[in-house]
Amino acid sequence: MNEVLPAILPPDRAIFPAIEQKINLKTKPVGALGRLEKLAAQVALIQQSETPELTNPHVLVFAGDHGLAAEGVSAYPAEVTYQMVQNFIAGGAAINVFCRQNGLNLLVCDVGVNGTFAENTETFVKFKIRPGTRNMRQEPAMTADECGAAMDAGRTLVNGVAYRGCNVVGLGEMGIGNTAAATLLMHRITGLPLADCVGRGTGLDDAGLGRKLAILEEVSARYRSLTDPLDLLAAMGGFELAAMVGAYLQAAENGMVILADGFIATAALLIAHKLAPAVLEYCVFSHQSDEQGHAAMLNYLGVSPLLTLGLRLGEGTGCALAYPLLASAVAMLNDMASFASAGISQKEENR
């Protein structure tokens, strides 16, 4: 699998001085729009344009079940994955609401849900590898081929929306038990103690959290010899996590702006980052999750989120909520007057 990974290059920074000058000459003190200025510059760099555009934005939500859920690592039963995907299809979930509100297209993908769905539609597609991963406490969650197929599903969806003119994509997920998988990946990639990575997920009480930690310690020890990111992903990940890894890599290779969601989406990004470090330069971090460990993940990557709202839902909800800030940054760069065009005097040192 490593032999077919894309060679992702960082955006060419030769255009940056012109972008920076354009932002600094807007009718405001230098730096007065704070993070929006940096966000505008990042989008302009990614698109290699002083007049970037956000076209046909999408949120892609990948769904899959986890065999480890049978061990009681979640406060919700495994069948909730299937039920929530049905809710996405019906348009009733939080991500549906926020996408409609903010003008984003939603595309949900079944990469490994234990259940049968209707035919593909404009908003739902099936790339089911198998009905859930295996119980990683007993055997690897996926084979290498299955992990690769899930990554290919992510790549395929990204290329599909790119073909429709999409140049900004948010990545989200649904899968009961996936905070456990994400915790294990975080622990093994960052080297942080497992106790500092594990959280309550869908709302475990203290006893449930203690059991979850004990199980994850056992799982991590089982695969202690693994170090390659793709081996870790196959052994302790999930179909939706692998699909997001593929989606991150393809979106970066395509030169798209990527909105990263919370704890689970960032765990997938840890793997993508290990495989292709430059992927980080295409990512906008929408929010800091309330799930324990996410702040440490963001710190490990050396990035700052746009929002801190105490979210811990997943689904790509943070992406949909942060998108208006991205749109505002681009609008500022394109539409805000300069001192010269508005006939406004500048500070002496800026002349």
Q: What range defines the domain where residue 94 resides?
A: 58-326
Give percent of the chain above pLDDT 70: 97
Residue tagged active-site, from 37, 173, 291, 315: 315
pLDDT at 342 over 80: no
From residue 336, alpha-carbon distances to 24, 105, 219, 349 in Å are 11, 27, 54, 21
Question: Is the Cβ–Cβ distance between 141 and 236 less than 8 Å?
Answer: yes
Domain of residue 26, CATH code = 1.10.1610.10
Residue 195 lies in a domain: yes
pLDDT tens digits along 61-74:
999 999 999 988 88
Classify residue 341 by burial, with Cβ atoms within 10 Å: 0-12, 13-18, 19+: exposed
pLDDT band at 48 (very low <50, low <70, confident <90, very high): very high
Residue 138 CB coordination number (10 Å): 12
Residue 4 lies in a domain: no
Domain of residue 173, CATH code = 3.40.50.10210
Classify residue 349 by burial, with Cβ atoms within 10 Å: 0-12, 13-18, 19+: exposed
pLDDT at 351 over 80: no
173 is catalytic: no
Residues 247 and 310 in one domain: yes
pLDDT of residue 51: 97
Residues 193 and 48 in one domain: no
Lowest-confidence pick of 70-74, 148-152, 235-239, 266-270:
70-74
Residues 37 and 142 in one domain: no
Residues 170 and 38 in one domain: no
pLDDT tens digits along 139-148:
999 999 999 9
From residue 56, alpha-carbon distances to 113, 181, 285 in Å are 27, 32, 19
Residues 189 and 67 in one domain: yes
Residues 345 and 322 in one domain: no
For 200, phi then psi, to 5°, come to -85, -5
